[in-house]
Amino acid sequence: MYRVAPHGNNRARQERLSLAGKGRFFVSQTTKRALEASLKKLLLEKPLNKITINDITEDCGVNRMTFYYHFKDIYDLVDWILVEDAAKAMEGRQSFETWTEAFLDILHQLRDNKALVLNVYRSVGREQVEQYLYKLLDPMLKEFADRECHDITVQDDDKQFVVDFYKYALVGVVLEWIRRDMKADPAVMVERTGRMLQGDLRRALCRLASNKIHLEQID
């Protein structure tokens, strides 16, 4: 004869499983962060293509099996770092009043990770850095495009077209900066870019708006 467990017992079991799952996730993230820190530390000493998994695990104080539990190789770890950094970069981005302020913040973040970015650019390739920059700039530009559309109606595909136009332009500027070892001052770069494009995001969206307004209103 089967006995049906009280509903309260099922709920308690589900809560225990949920807490256990959260605990495993926290431990996993902590280990990944430690591996990330070790890789970034080692990049200050030698190039990415000279770093081994043994180097990382010895610096981190974990065994190789722990590394392979989380990542298939060093480049998989690099991919994870880039994705995580892009996600962190979006936190608090809404506090900026202008896209130039947000762009400057992105450049500072890239410079803070200079060793990693330059090594990925040189050892893995320009394309991976390019995709990383798209992930940083696309949501940022979308946020400010949405703000500019507060009194106009722009179709989503038209808005994305404008975002893509600015995204590709800014990514090109950043890639050239990286190619030149990030020597230029980010503040000077942003000031120059801002002067060139001042008001143009709004103008571009207005020209594609279905409820047209006079462009003189935005000058």
Q: How far apart are CA 193 and CA 202, in angstroms?
A: 15
How much is the pTM?
0.77
Which amino acid belongs to residue 61?
Answer: G
> Is the pLDDT at 3 greater than 80, yes or no?
no
In contact, 147 and 75? CB cutoff 8 Å:
no
- pLDDT band (50, 70, 90) for residue 9: low
Report the CATH architecture of 72-219: Orthogonal Bundle (1.10)
Domain residue ranges in the chain: 1-71, 72-219
**Does the pLDDT value for residue 174 go beyond 90?**
yes
- Domain 1-71 fold: Arc Repressor Mutant, subunit A (1.10.10)
Asked whether the predicted pLDDT for residue 210 surpasses 90, the reply is no
